C-alpha cells in the first residue's frame, strides 16, 4: 500500500514538473514595459514552436511602443498579429529570424489578443495550437 502511494505521489510530481516545464517553454510569462529616456516603450518578443515569449505584455496608453520581433530558427513560418484599430493598434508582420521593428501607439486601455495567423492546410491554426498571448494597455 505504501509503495503504491509513493509511486502515485512520484507520478504526480513528475506530471507537475512536466507541466511547469511546458509552460515555461511555451512562453507563459509577462513583461511590463518601461518608458525609455526617448519616450518609447521597447519590448523584445520572440515567436517559436507555437508560443510567444513573453506572451503577456503590459504597456501604457498614449506612449509609443516598439517591438523588436523575430522567430526562432526552424522551417515553420510564424506571424505576429494584433488587430485593434479602435485602440490605434494594427500589427500584421511575418516573423523572420532577423529582428524586425514594429511600432505603434496604443490609444485606448484594454486587453488585446496577440496571435499567429498561420495555418497549414487542414491542420489547426497556430493560434489554435497555443500561439497567442495578450497585449494589455493600461492608462
35-74 pLDDT, tens digit per residue, is: 999 999 999 999 999 999 999 999 999 999 999 999 999 9
Residue-range definition of the domain harbouring residue 83? 29-138
Q: Domain for residue 83, yes or no?
A: yes
pLDDT at 15: 37
16 located within any domain: no
- Name the phi and psi angles at 22, rounded to 5: -65, -40
Q: For residue 81, what is the domain's CATH number?
A: 2.60.40.420
Domain assignment present for 37: yes
Model pLDDT, residue 1: 56
State the pLDDT at residue 28.
62
What's the total number of domains in the chain?
1
Instruction: List, for the chain, all residue ranges whose pLDDT scores fall below the cut of 70.
Output: 1-28
Domain membership of residue 120 (yes or no) is yes
pLDDT of residue 104: 98
Helix (H) or strand (E) run with residue 17 in it: helix 2-25
Amino acid at each position: 500500500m505504501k509503495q503504491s502511494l509513493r509511486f502515485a505521489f512520484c507520478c504526480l510530481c513528475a506530471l507537475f514538473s512536466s507541466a511547469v516545464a511546458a509552460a515555461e517553454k511555451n512562453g507563459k510569462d509577462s513583461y511590463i514595459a518601461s518608458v525609455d529616456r526617448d519616450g518609447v516603450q521597447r519590448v523584445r518578443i520572440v515567436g517559436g514552436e507555437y508560443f510567444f515569449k513573453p506572451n503577456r505584455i503590459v504597456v501604457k496608453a498614449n506612449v509609443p511602443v516598439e517591438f523588436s520581433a523575430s522567430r526562432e530558427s526552424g522551417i515553420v513560418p510564424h506571424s505576429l498579429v494584433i488587430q485593434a484599430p479602435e485602440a490605434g493598434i494594427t500589427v500584421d508582420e511575418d516573423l523572420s529570424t532577423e529582428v524586425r521593428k514594429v511600432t505603434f501607439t496604443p490609444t485606448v486601455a484594454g486587453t488585446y489578443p496577440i496571435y499567429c495567423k498561420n495555418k497549414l492546410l487542414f491542420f489547426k491554426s497556430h493560434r489554435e495550437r497555443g500561439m497567442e498571448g495578450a497585449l494589455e494597455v493600461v492608462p
